[in-house]
Amino acid sequence: MIRNAGGIATDDALRSLIVSHHLLDTQEFIIINHTDCGLLKVKEDELKKKLAEKMGTSSGTPVHFHAFDDLEENVREQVRRVKSHPWIPKHIPVRGFVYDVKTGQLSEVQTD
């Protein structure tokens, strides 16, 4: 399990997935985002400004927090990002889901 804010397929998450498949023989990847995600509630620039004001300084890292405004589209984008990496074999299933934090329901997102 790789967990990060927004369920984003960052370079580090991709690195971990590649290691997981090629060294540990993982044969399927599942990306799960959840309702009420904090990154759904902010805009990138507003978050950076808020943090700079709160901390009294700006920072060059992280460059992006990857805020988004459409949960299912974010899942689709992360699935595409994983599937398109040249070191992730095309036969590896990559599926996306949304977990509803209020009901506990897990719903698959159509990605193709």
For the chain, the average pLDDT equals 95
- In sequence order, what DSSP letters do the residues of 35-58 get, joined into one string? TT-GGGS--HHHHHHHHHHHHTS-
Using alpha carbons, select from 69, 72, 85 the residue that is nearest to residue 12: 85
What domain range includes position 72? 5-109
pLDDT digits (tens, 9 = 90+) for 48-87: 999 999 999 989 888 889 999 999 999 999 999 999 999 9
Q: Considering its fold, how many domains does the chain have in total?
A: 1
Four-residue CA torsion sign, 60, 62, 77, 46: negative
CATH of the domain at 71: 3.40.1050.10
The whole-number pLDDT of residue 53 equals: 95
Residues 71, 38: Cα–Cα separation, whole Å: 11
DSSP assignment, residue 16? Answer: H
Count of residues making up the chain:
112
